[in-house]
Amino acid sequence: MENNTKMHTGDLNFYYGKFQALHHISMDFYKNRVTALIGPSGCGKSTYLRCLNRMNDLIPGTRVQGKALLDGMDIHDPAVDVVNLRKRVGMVFQKPNPFPKSIFENIAYGPRVNGIKDKGQITRIVEKSLKQAAIWNEVKDRLNESALGLSGGQQQRLCIARALAVDPEVLLMDEPASALDPIATQKIEALVTELSSKLTIIIVTHNMQQAARVSHRTAFFYMGKLIEVNDTDTLFTKPKLKQTEDYITGRFG
Ligand SMILES: Nc1ncnc2c1ncn2[C@@H]1O[C@H](COP(=O)(O)OP(=O)(O)OP(=O)(O)O)[C@@H](O)[C@H]1O
pLDDT given for residue 3 in this prediction: 75
pLDDT at 251: 79
Whether 154 is in a domain gets the answer: no
Q: What is the pLDDT of residues 47-92, one digit of tens each?
A: 999 999 999 999 999 999 999 999 999 999 999 999 999 999 999 9
Closest to 249 measured CA to CA, from 208, 204, 216, 220: 208
| CA gap 196, 206 in Å, rounded | 20
What integer pLDDT is reported at residue 2 of this predicted model? 55
Positions of the chain with pLDDT under 70: 1-2, 253
Q: Is 134 part of a structural domain of the chain?
A: no
Structure confidence at residue 250 (pLDDT): 86
Give the chain's mean pLDDT.
95
145 within a domain of the structure (yes/no): no
Please give the ipTM for the structure prediction: 0.97
Is the pTM here over 0.90, yes or no? Answer: yes
Q: Residue of the nearest CA to atom 29 in ligand 1?
A: 42
121 is a domain residue: no
How many domains in the chain? Answer: 1
Q: Is residue 149 part of a domain?
A: no
Tell me whether residue 238 is in a domain: yes
Q: Is residue 29 a part of any domain in this protein? A: yes
Q: For ligand 1, is residue 44 a contact (CB within 6 Å)?
A: yes
Ligand 1: does its nearest atom lie under 6 Å from the Cβ of 222? no
| Whether the Cβ atoms of residue 90 and residue 170 lie closer than 8 Å to each other | yes
CATH of the domain at 174: 3.40.50.300
Which residues are CB-neighbours of 225 under 8 A, at least 6 positions away? 23, 24, 25, 44
Q: How far apart are the C-alpha atoms of 161 and 167, rounded to whole Å?
A: 10
Measured CA to CA, the distance from residue 63 to residue 74 in angstroms comes to 16
Ligand 1: residue whose CA is nearest its atom 31: 42
Structural domain containing residue 184: 5-94+169-248
> Within a domain: residue 130?
no
